[in-house]
Amino acid sequence: MENNLRVIKNVLLVMLSVLVAILLKELATMLIPLALALFFAILLQPILLWFERKKWPFGLSLTVIYLSSISTVALIGLLAYRTGLSLFEQKDKLLGQVNVKLNNILDWFEELSGLEVTSFNINQAFTDLLSADWILKSSGTVAGFLGDFTGLFIMTSLYLAALLGGILRYEQYIGYLESDNEEKEEKLLKGFEQVKSSIVTYIKVKFLMSLATGLGFGLVCWFFGLDFALFWGFFAFILNFIPTVGSIIATIPPVLLGLIQFDSTGTLLFLFLVLATIQFFFGNVIEPRLLGSSLSLNTVVVIMGLVFWGYLWGVTGMLLSVPLLVLMKVVMSQVPDANLIVRLMGSSKFTDEQGE
């Protein structure tokens, strides 16, 4: 009888997990801005607490933090737009370099095979590609993307304002929820503190490592004389926030541009080795040391979480995958029968204390 009940319980748990995943997918429009706002609020809570200790009026400190956060996001978006526009304005130079490389490859193939090969003009091909129909279709896609981004930005801003208004009083909310059980209240407080501490530590370290990686990429590209060095540094800074694969992807575009721009294979290989070394050093040596035991997640779990949340919420889910995994881990640690799953995700001081 007991075994049958355990089987039924496990089956129901699997069905519940599938249902939750479906709901997360279907309600992504509402849940993504809420998740973004929640993690921004957790990150900004220590700053809000500092203002309170300095006896700033709560409304004034909330306004300063809120406007500063919104301005920072808007500034990053503006920088991305300006650098992308600068890249597009120099497309003729890039296309000219690509055209020379392609024709050199065709000449080499013609000499090797003895076959006559027609020269290729990529500038004309690019002009033909940008037909009126293509521009019309693309304008609709761009307009849809800008509309979605604007809606996400507005909803996240509204959620952030509401969450910042109550984040300092979370102890009172938890005490109200578990007013009749001090043990559960203490457990929930520890869980929230663990989530807050882990997320703040992760974002701080990730920001520093992303900044260092971006500066390193930018300086290396500038030293090698690669075009758009500032853009590649900014590109690496942004992509490094995506766990595991982000910094690897950031290495590919400057190497491809080097393939077009450099005549020497040795220079191209050296560029690749330097960029790969920077990515490996900051991502696999310095970052784990700075995180230490405050954020202990199995590497396989991080990759699976990246795929899972990326499938559900796209790029935003990939950016939030590690904080969401931390949240899931702490929530699962509150369930007695889920101790094995928690330990498979990775050990930490908090989960070890729960198991004692």
Q: Read out DSSP for 31-97?
A: HHHHHHHHHHHHHHHHHHHHHHHTT--HHHHHHHHHHHHHHHHHHHHHHHHHHHHHHHHTHHHHHHH
**pLDDT band at 332, cuts 50/70/90?**
confident
Q: What is the mean pLDDT of residues 187-194?
A: 73
Short-list 220, 226, 235, 215, CA closest to 282: 215
Can you read off the two tokens belonging to residue 84?
């992308």
351 has pLDDT over 50: no
Of 67-76, 125-134, 177-186, 228-237, the one with minimum mean pLDDT is: 125-134
Mean pLDDT of the chain, nearest integer: 76
Q: From CA 168, how far away is CA 7, in angstroms rounded?
A: 43
Q: What is the mean pLDDT of residues 273-279?
A: 91
Sign of the C-alpha dihedral, residues 79, 260, 139, 313? negative
Short-list 188, 148, 189, CA closest to 29: 148
47 or 86: which leads in pLDDT = 47
Of 29-38, 130-139, 192-201, 258-267, the one with minimum mean pLDDT is: 130-139
Report pLDDT for 72: 79
Q: From CA 244, how far away is CA 283, in angstroms rounded?
A: 8
Q: What is the mean pLDDT of residues 212-231?
A: 89
Report pLDDT for 294: 53
228: Cα separation from own chain's centroid: 23
**pLDDT band at 115, cuts 50/70/90?**
low
| Those residues with Cβ within 8 angstroms of residue 150's Cβ, 6 or more apart along the chain or in another chain | none
Sign of the C-alpha dihedral, residues 176, 177, 182, 186? negative
268 has pLDDT over 80: yes
Short-list 43, 324, 355, CA closest to 196: 43
**pLDDT band at 265, cuts 50/70/90?**
confident
178 or 310: which leads in pLDDT = 310
Residue type (1 letter), 322: V
Short-list 71, 44, 47, CA closest to 163: 44
| Those residues with Cβ within 8 angstroms of residue 320's Cβ, 6 or more apart along the chain or in another chain | 35, 36, 39, 309, 313
72, 211, 217, 278 from 234: Cα distances, Å:
15, 9, 9, 15
H or E segment to which residue 115 belongs: none
199 has pLDDT over 50: yes
**pLDDT band at 169, cuts 50/70/90?**
low
Q: From CA 45, how far away is CA 37, in angstroms rounded?
A: 12
29 has pLDDT over 80: yes
b (16+ CB within 10 A) / e for 126-138? eeeeeeeeeeeee
**pLDDT band at 354, cuts 50/70/90?**
very low
Report pLDDT for 304: 86
Q: From CA 350, how far away is CA 352, in angstroms rounded?
A: 5
299 has pLDDT over 80: no
Report pLDDT for 24: 87
**pLDDT band at 155, cuts 50/70/90?**
confident
| Those residues with Cβ within 8 angstroms of residue 279's Cβ, 6 or more apart along the chain or in another chain | 213, 247, 248, 250, 251
Neighbours of 17 (CB within 10 A): 10
Report pLDDT for 272: 92
Q: Where are the domains of the chain?
A: 26-177, 183-356
pTM for this model (two decimals): 0.73
Percent of the chain's residues with pLDDT above 90 = 6
- Name the phi and psi angles at 210, rounded to 5: -65, -40
26 has pLDDT over 80: yes
